Chains A and B, each alone.
Chain A
Amino acid sequence: MLQISNLMVFYENALALNDFSMKVEKGQIVAVIGSNSAGKTTLMNTVSGLIIDTKIKEQRKGGERITLYGKIVFDGKDITELHPSERVKEGLVLCRERHPIFPESDLVENLRIAGYLRKRSEVSSTIEYVFDLFPTLLRLKTRKAGFLSGGEQQMLTIGMALMVKPKLLLLDEPLLGLSPIMQKTLVDAILKIRKEAGLTIVVTEQFARPILPVIDHGYVVENGMLSLDGPGLELMENPEVKAAYFGV
């Protein structure tokens, strides 16, 4: 479903991703594990195309800072040059890191803004689906999103992505800064949406422990390079992974 080949991303002269390749099959949950500044967000922004928008904006102002090489194929289509808003229409949706929401709008309005590409009737039925998935959100319906807790905002971001009805969902560090209970809620939700909505999911994390047991395949990135990959359970047994990404 998603095939990334030999991706290279430069910020000025700094290499953020170095000859990175990975593959995601339909219906899989795939993890990208890496520590701070390994290049996870760069990868997510490149796949979702946001980096192209940043690049275009910088070029308009006369700067040539970002350079991209490599190829991204999604659903049999080469999307390497596609504008991010077009990629969303193809069904490729990113939840950016640190749960960005629209702080001035209330929770329901956030979901309705996220339903921009959908029909009115689909919007209301998907909102109901989101409340089904995260019942906690239901009683916070009219709360301004800026006043939600980090965990609630994270649920909302995932809900917003679901509003688009994606085929492939990219989650950039969805578990960051959450309690073990909240992490479990989210991991369960991830499993549930894969099952119910038939989604394919790519998730990045620094800590492998909560996510490895549920993934089909994992990639470990160090300094922008692929250092090893394998099925989730295999990575769990790997002493290097244990030492570096399991915390204390």
Chain B
Amino acid sequence: MLEVTIIYGFINSIILALIALGFSLTFGISGVSNFAYGAMYIMAGYAVWIMINLIGLPFPVAAILAVIFTALFGLALYRLVLLRVRGMVISEVIATFGVGLAILELFRYLGFTGFEYTLPVFTDGSLMIGDTYIDHQRLWIVGIGISLALGLYLFTRYTKTGLAFRGIAQDEQTALSLGINSDRVAGLSVAFGSGLAAIAAILILPRGTISVNEGYDVLINAMAVCIIGGLGSTVGVIVASFMIGYAQMITDAFSGPHWKMIVSLVAILIILLVKPSGLFGKQKELEERI
């Protein structure tokens, strides 16, 4: 029992980190809180499903195309909507949340609900660690999740675009005066965040069916992790993911899966009361943001 909680708590934490990574990245760089994030996650899931089942593409091709497509969608969202309201926090939140709402409810309206909407696992099978069964997909999630976090760390420190990300996250005008086109880089950061949402979806969704409602849960979880960790802080994302991840597992073990979502919501409330800028947050204006 304890072993199961430890192992599944770990996996659950990585899943949360994976979900929050893109949301946090975009915010940390361009200051844009992308509330269409959950919708993009679900959209990527349906996109893969459509490409496999209606167009007949092989899964790997569909997965890659879905990531590219979602990233481009993020870029378009930035170019067409966010660019004009950037810096006006309330407008950003309303605009992105509105877009997210429209996407999710459109899928519901078009009848994308039911048990047939599932994505394939990467590889079938399972593994024993001690007395605990773990299916391959969860191992993929852990492996790719950790590699992505590491890759992202290296990317922002050793590549031109990554360094430009760090530059405009800290001081946009200074970056601009060094020839870094801040509008373009901010657009890229939204595209990157959206692409990460798609990767998370393709990894995580095979565990169940794709449903519109999960889009809202994903947004809530991403927000919970980011609010607790401190918006824009990568260390914060990791620490908060493990805190919520294990809290959810323990709640699950003692009172059933129904209470899992409550953990995120209660955690948001507690942290906003105790330390509104989050555990590792530097963003003082968080109170205004959410």
Chain A residues at the B interface, C-beta cutoff of 8 Å: 48, 50, 53, 57, 60-61, 83-85, 88-89, 93-96, 100-105, 109, 112-114, 116-117, 160-161, 163-164
Contacts and interface: CB of A to CB of B under 8 A. Distances in A.
B185 to A, nearest CB: 9
A50 B175 contact: no
Contacts of B83: 60
A166 B49 CA distance: 51
B160 A102 contact: no
Contacts of B166: 102, 104-105, 109, 113
Nearest to B162: A113
Given A60-B86, A85-B182, A116-B160, 7 more contacts: A57-B87, A61-B87, A85-B179, A101-B171, A102-B170, A104-B170, A105-B170
Interface of A is mostly: helix
Contact of A83 (B160, B163, B164, B181): B181
B127 interface: no
Question: Which 3 pairs from chain A and chain B are nearest by CB?
Answer: A88-B179, A85-B181, A113-B167
A114 B176 contact: no
B207 interface: no
Give the interface size bracket for B toward A. 20 to 34
A114 B164 CA distance: 8
A48 B177 contact: yes
20 contacts: A57-B87, A61-B87, A61-B88, A84-B177, A88-B177, A88-B179, A93-B177, A100-B171, A101-B174, A102-B174, A103-B170, A104-B166, A113-B166, A113-B180, A116-B163, A116-B167, A116-B178, A116-B179, A116-B180, A164-B178
A161 B177 CA distance: 9
B157 interface: yes
Contacts of B177: 48, 50, 84, 88, 93-96
A48 B178 CA distance: 10
A93 B175 CA distance: 11
Interface of B: 83-88, 157, 160, 163-164, 166-167, 170-171, 173-182
Nearest to A160: B178
B180 A109 contact: no
A161 B179 CA distance: 10
Most interface-central of B160, B166, B174, B179 (chain A CB within 10 A):
B179
Nearest to A157: B174
A86 to B, nearest CB: 8
A101 B166 CA distance: 12
A84 B83 CA distance: 18
Contacts of A88: 177-179
A160 B178 CA distance: 8
A181 B171 CA distance: 29
Contacts of B167: 102, 113, 116
A53 B178 contact: no
B234 to A, nearest CB: 12
A99 B157 CA distance: 23
B183 to A, nearest CB: 9
A99 to B, nearest CB: 10
Given A96-B173, A104-B170, A112 B163 contact: yes
A89 B178 contact: no
Nearest to A123: B160
Contact of A113 (B86, B87, B178, B181): B178
Contacts of B171: 100-103
Most interface-central of A61, A95, A102 (chain B CB within 10 A):
A102
Nearest to A96: B177
A50 B173 contact: yes
B176 A53 contact: yes
A89 B170 contact: no
B179 A117 contact: yes
A70 B23 CA distance: 44
A89 B86 contact: no
Contacts of B85: 60-61
Contacts of A100: 171, 173-174
A179 to B, nearest CB: 24
Contacts of A101: 171, 174
